Chains A and B, each alone.
Chain A
Amino acid sequence: MTQFTFVDILTNLLWASRWTLLLSLAAFAGGGLLALGLLFAAIGRARWPGRLVRLYVEIFQGTPLLMQLFLAFFGLGLLGIDVSPWLAACAALILWSAAFLVEIWRGCVMAIGRGQWEASAALGMGYAAQMRHVVLPQALRLAVPPTVGFSVQVVKGTALTSIIGFLELTKAGTVLSNASFQPFTVFGLVALIYFALCFPLSVGARRLERKLNVAH
């Protein structure tokens, strides 16, 4: 039987964590893009698109991410569509993070006071000009800290994809722990690596929050 040294375990975990990183980036970027599209539907003046976004958000915020992963992986399989764990993980995480990001961003747009809308309307600006020049630039400033903060949730959310067999950090930890019989060392290291990924993000979010607040 193979003996696992500490260095073996660590290198294997670090090697696997690139998938955690990649999946986080894909989920965050894809979720961000999707959320941006949903945002314009949500804050537009037509009613129906806004209601549909509302429904979407309720569904994805109101069910566990784990169920969403199961549905993406097994559900699509039942329909005869063969999905790899990577694809299912990506799809579920993108849909999930978009549901949270669009709510965060919608809140930031709503936070821009009525006075800003009225002042720009009184100057003769139309809806598009108001959005582009007055509301969105201010909302963007509000949105940066909570958005960076949410990225921490995305990184931790990727851990669940181990259940559908995607070999990222947590899955690698499970495999290594089964093979090495050193669960405490392995999962201790797994936790430390997650922390190393998330800590800079939360520090960054805090710094940005302070910096952007001062600017006003």
Chain B
Amino acid sequence: MSLIEIAGLRKSFGSTEVLRGIDLSVASGEVVAIIGRSGSGKSTLLRCINGLESPDAGAITVAGEALGTGEARLRALRLKVGMIFQQFNLFPHKTAGQNVMLARQVVRGHPRAEAEALARRMLNRVGLGAKFDAYPAQLSGGQQQRVAIARALAMEPLALLCDEVTSALDPELVGEVLGVVRELAAEGMTLIMVTHEMAFAREVCDRVVFMHEGRVHEVGPPAEIFAEPRTPELRAFVARGH
């Protein structure tokens, strides 16, 4: 059974229809890359899955539960689906450790000591155990993004949504973040990532979704998608060397 089930999803901003009926299902443990030109609706799709945008029509089901509109249901959904952002969005007034601990304490109501132990484990997992007391401003972009990953993992989500997680990074810092993502994939984490890192998508993902003008234009295993694109749009996209 699939972990995330999306059916007939539509979303407009003003008069622009960004998502024009998306159907997609993601199995537990699957790693899915969403590719496509900017404006094709990739990020909006991702943001709908954890309720940062509310769809105009269609249904999203995560682990058997439909995405509702009330705040309580949204919060329940967000505990199942973690999200990592292009701009990291760490809390600048808190240390790396506190960033990872906060939701554990506030949302899950765990005592401080327990949250701290977990935060240390999560920071170790992304290779930043030594940076527990560093503030975000003292960390490089790559390190900040790894803290953001640890922060999402601390909530023990069923799936992680990655929204262009390396796009704001200097080229030499991309590798360390992708390394962490690769490890997560190998550990069986369900990942849906919007990405421009085609080489990475090819290597790590089970399935690639090509979006074009608000629709899922082509889906398939990376080998097929990149080697034998069926539609002219995908062919053009691949040829442009993304």
Q: List residues of A whose CB falls within 8 A of some B CB.
A: 113, 115-116, 118-127, 129, 133-134, 137-138, 141, 216
Contacts and interface: CB of A to CB of B under 8 A. Distances in A.
B108 to A, nearest CB: 8
Contacts of B85: 115, 118-119, 122
Given A121-B51, A124-B155, 6 more contacts: A119-B90, A121-B78, A122-B82, A122-B152, A133-B91, A138-B93
Nearest to B104: A123
A133 B50 CA distance: 21
Interface in B181-212: none
B25 interface: no
Contacts, number: 64
Interface residues of B, number: 26
Interface in B84-143: 85, 87, 89-93, 102-103, 106-107, 137
Interface of B: 50-52, 71, 74-75, 78-79, 82-83, 85, 87, 89-93, 102-103, 106-107, 137, 148, 151-152, 155
A176 B175 CA distance: 76
A75 to B, nearest CB: 44
A133 B87 contact: no
A124 B87 contact: no
A121 B82 CA distance: 10
B155 A123 contact: yes
A124 B74 CA distance: 8
A138 B103 CA distance: 17
